[in-house]
């Protein structure tokens, strides 16, 4: 059914202009193993030519392949068409969706690829996935070089490389490779100069130095793998993390995000000026997670709060609590206004933000109009079985469905069933409904509105009637359970 939906992504207008793909190896069933055997490390994209997500990834994939030229150890990027010359191979690796990416060492598949989908992130992730998970540091030069750069660095300092703590640490580095840079040392000179023995230290990159937290954190736990893992994950982003398109999924609710011109490459001073002010307040609210994000990279998130354009350089603050309710700092950002905003959210007195069209003045049609502000009234509290269509005004499939949906409203006018439509581009979709494309339809029985079911049947008028007749809580007046019209009984003489 997903192929019939209008995907909620921007039109792929630029896909005809792709980078030169001569750096990406094209594989087939015949060449798959022989080609992989010639390369130490290979990232393979299993794709279908018609797949929109594959087309969107392809230019980034090609750029990543070019970025990885000359890497040591060498890393190759490859493709295989699952609908053509690579069918058997795709079946062998149980590929069921596109694109699927897997990492190979020679001909052996080592792991699924779960990293970024943009060129720099792909290249960085793959470099972290090859060679030892933790670099061994044996001299002062390698030690200083390792601690340089823009990434979080973690170093294990061990007197013996076979100690329980060292073994647990090296296990964790294999699990978290790609998240941070990892190294370890047993060199006595480095242990003495660093002032650390039999412990682990997390170092934050220099450009994030600030007066509100130390630029390094020393582990004080035991040799538990889970404790070491938690230590790294807890301290990785610090008090206020730098949230990007590549790592956004790592930031969890309750989350407070400040959006502004975050740019450490071109304007680190201004970026840290605002980050420091955010940190000054954030340290007083340990129950929340905090981040800064580029307003340009996350304009779509600002749009979700009705913000089409950020007028000045000051941060715009948006938040979600543990219940995923949305909140917006309406006043202009300052240390005081930010502090007050967090206190109000903390106390529960802050009104959640709800993106919604106005409630219709009249809603007497056979197809009811739901918006975010009246969803409870129109859907949840109507005491009727309800079919809801989540649509987009620009969606061609939605427009095609519209007259059929109106006819369905007429057919159900005298039934204990409500037919409802909801513009998902202009209103916040309730949390129970997972809308990935348009149109998406859900059936919400009157006695279990907290467990709606996605409708995945055909979209003809008779198909809808048959579905509703079968699933209605009480049998329809005009149709039997198979959706056949019930003939009225003739009056007896």
Name the residues annotated as catalytic. 51, 54, 395, 398
Do the beta carbons of residue 302 and residue 258 sit within 8 Å? no
Chain-centre distance for alpha carbon 155:
29
Instruction: Please give the DSSP secondary-structure letter assigned to residue 351.
Output: P
Residue 72 phi/psi, 5-degree rounding, is -130, 120
Beta bridge partners of 326: 320, 353
Half-sphere exposure of 306 (CA within 13 A, CB side): 13
**Pairing of β 289-294 and β 153-157:** unpaired
List all residues 6 or more positions away from 193 whose beta carbon is below 8 Å from its beta carbon.
Answer: 140
Could you tell me where the beta strands, DSSP code E, fall in 96-144? 100-105, 108-112, 135-136
Burial 112-148 (b: 16+ CB within 10 A, else e): ebebbbbbebbbbbbbbbbeebbbebeeeebbeebbe
Alpha helices by DSSP H, listed for 304-418, are 335-347, 375, 396-411
Spatial distance between the Cα atoms of 170 and 166, rounded to a whole number of angstroms = 6
């Amino acid at each position: 059914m997903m192929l019939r939906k209008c995907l909620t992504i921007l039109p792929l207008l630029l896909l005809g202009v792709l980078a030169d793909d001569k750096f990406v190896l094209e594989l087939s069933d015949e060449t798959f193993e022989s080609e992989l055997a010639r390369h130490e490390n290979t990232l393979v994209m299993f794709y279908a030519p018609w797949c929109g997500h594959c087309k969107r990834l392809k230019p980034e994939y090609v750029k990543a392949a070019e970025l990885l030229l000359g890497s040591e150890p060498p890393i190759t990027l490859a493709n295989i068409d699952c609908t053509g010359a690579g069918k058997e191979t795709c079946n062998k690796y149980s590929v069921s969706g596109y694109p699927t990416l897997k990492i190979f060492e020679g001909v052996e598949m080592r792991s699924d690829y779960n990293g970024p989908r943009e060129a720099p992130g792909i290249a960085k992730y793959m470099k972290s996935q090859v060679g030892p998970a933790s670099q061994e540091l044996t001299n002062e030069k390698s030690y200083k070089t390792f601690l340089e750069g823009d990434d979080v660095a973690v170093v294990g300092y061990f007197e013996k490389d076979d100690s329980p703590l060292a073994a647990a640490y090296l296990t964790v580095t294999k699990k978290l490779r790609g998240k941070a840079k990892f190294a370890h040392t047993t060199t006595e000179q480095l242990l003495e100069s660093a002032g650390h023995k039999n412990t682990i230290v997390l170092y934050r990159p220099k450009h994030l130095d600030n007066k509100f937290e130390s630029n390094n954190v020393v582990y004080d736990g035991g040799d538990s793998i889970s404790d070491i893992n938690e230590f790294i994950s807890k301290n990785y982003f610090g008090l206020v993390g730098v949230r990007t398109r590549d790592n956004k999924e790592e930031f969890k609710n309750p989350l407070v995000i400040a959006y502004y011109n975050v740019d450490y490459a071109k304007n680190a001073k201004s970026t840290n000026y605002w980050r420091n002010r955010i940190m000054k307040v954030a340290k007083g609210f340990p129950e929340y997670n905090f981040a800064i994000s580029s307003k340009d990279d996350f304009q779509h998130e600002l749009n979700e709060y009705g913000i089409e354009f950020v007028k000045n350089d000051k941060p715009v603050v948006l938040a979600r609590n543990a219940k995923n309710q949305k909140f917006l700092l309406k006043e202009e950002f300052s240390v005081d206004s930010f502090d007050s905003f967090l206190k109000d959210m903390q106390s529960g007195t802050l009104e959640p933000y709800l993106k919604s069209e106005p409630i219709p003045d009249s809603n007497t049609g056979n197809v009811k109009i739901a918006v975010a502000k009246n969803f409870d009234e129109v859907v949840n509290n109507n005491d009727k079985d309800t079919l809801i269509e989540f649509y987009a005004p620009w969606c061609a499939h939605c427009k095609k469905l519209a007259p059929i949906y109106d006819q369905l409203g007429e057919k159900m006018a005298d039934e204990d069933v409500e037919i409802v439509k909801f513009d998902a581009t202009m209103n916040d979709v309730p949390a129970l409904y997972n809308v990935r494309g348009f149109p998406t339809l859900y059936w919400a029985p009157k006695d279990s509105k907290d467990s709606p079911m996605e409708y995945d049947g055909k979209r003809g008028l008779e198909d809808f009637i048959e579905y509703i007749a079968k699933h209605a809580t009480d049998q329809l007046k005009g149709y039997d359970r198979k959706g056949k019209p019930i003939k009225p009984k003739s009056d007896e003489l």
